[in-house]
Amino acid sequence: MSTYLEDKRNVTTQRLLEMKQRGEKISMLTAYDYSMASIIDKAGMDVILVGDSAANVMAGHTTTLPMTMEQMIYHAQCVRRAVKRALVCVDLPFGSYQGNSKHAVQSAIQMMKETGADCIKIEGGSEIKDSIERILSAGIPIMGHLGLTPQSINKFGTYAVRAREESEAQKLIEDCHLLEDLGCFGIVLEKIPAQLAKQITGELSIPIIGIGAGPYVDGQVLVMHDMLGINKDFSPRFLRRYADLFETIKEAVENYIQDVKEGDFPNEKESY
Ligand code: KIV
């Protein structure tokens, strides 16, 4: 059995830092409900992210923007009830922290109080500096999120790779340093060139978790529905599928329908 499965201690932000220091990669995956979170936690995941990607994979929206505080709180409560070991991180939804730092800290406090999450994740750099400072001053650990930030999709206009241009890469590097200096415990970097992610990972002492950011970061995160092949509409180059649950589930459901139609289910043993 691997050491990460033998190690029953709760994962904390401090332990993630220690993992970076000793070169142990950090595993992170999204979950939105009790049953899946329970499986993922028992498998030995380090960080479970209640992502606002719930908007896409749970609710069928085309962007993450419609997600509300109430919806994120509901998903986070379901996940929290299941998770015994992993660090539970929750996305603050679009509109709950941008623009007004007082509103931001209220949102973060509400999220922590009502869900029992261990930390929150927010998207952005210098433009949300005040919100980051206020949330941290309330004692709430923050994971930053830079590069492709889906809550700003209307500003970018595309989900293409970010920071290929020198000026954007420079701003990204500065934002990463800013987040570390402010006191964020980690940063997710989404869809940026691998060499840029490597440089940032080397310069910062806090853990860098990549999604579409290449192999030279401190850990990896994926959306659960994508890596399990439940959601087959999304096939970016960075995605590795570990199962084809769409087909597995469809086949099981087809067999069930057939058994019902043919009067084969339930049989005598399955009846009272
Ligand atoms: O919402 C989410 O699932 C995320 C990951 C893509 C990092 O933010």
**121 CA → ligand 1 middle, Å:** 9
> Rounded CA gap, 140 and 135, in Å?
6
> Rounded CA gap, 51 and 47, in Å?
12
Which helix (H) or strand (E) segment holds residue 109: the answer is helix 101-115
* DSSP 3-state of 28: strand
pLDDT for res 232: 84
pLDDT for res 3: 55
Let me know: does 65 contact 100? Beta carbons within 8 Å: no
pLDDT for res 4: 66
Residues in the chain with pLDDT values less than 70 = 1-5
Please tell me the pTM assigned to this model: 0.97
DSSP 8-state symbol, 116 = -
Q: Which atom of ligand 1 is nearest to the CA of 150?
A: 8
**75 CA → ligand 1 middle, Å:** 14
The tokens describing 67, both together, are 């997600």
> Rounded CA gap, 266 and 253, in Å?
15
The total of other beta-carbon atoms located within 10 Å of residue 144's CB is 26
Pocket of ligand 1 (CB under 6 A): 30, 49, 51-53, 91, 145, 188, 211, 221, 223
Catalytic residue positions, numbered: 190
Ligand 1 pocket check: which of 52, 123, 192 to mutate, most ligand atoms within 8 Å of Cβ? 52
Q: What is the Cβ-side half-sphere exposure of residue 77, based on CA atoms within 13 angstroms?
A: 11
Contacts of 10 (CB under 8 A, 6+ apart): 84, 85, 87
Q: Which atom of ligand 1 is nearest to the CA of 51?
A: 1
Task: Read off the pLDDT of residues 90-109 as tens digits, 9 standing for 90 and up.
Answer: 999 999 999 899 999 999 99
The tokens describing 119, both together, are 């930390």
> Rounded CA gap, 234 and 242, in Å?
14
Of residues 67, 84, 22, 36, the one with CA closest to residue 223: 36
pLDDT for res 1: 47
Q: What is the Cβ-side half-sphere exposure of residue 109, based on CA atoms within 13 angstroms?
A: 12
pLDDT for res 147: 98
**223 CA → ligand 1 middle, Å:** 6
Residue linked to tokens 């993630």:
16
> Rounded CA gap, 8 and 147, in Å?
33
Contacts of 78 (CB under 8 A, 6+ apart): 32, 33, 34, 37
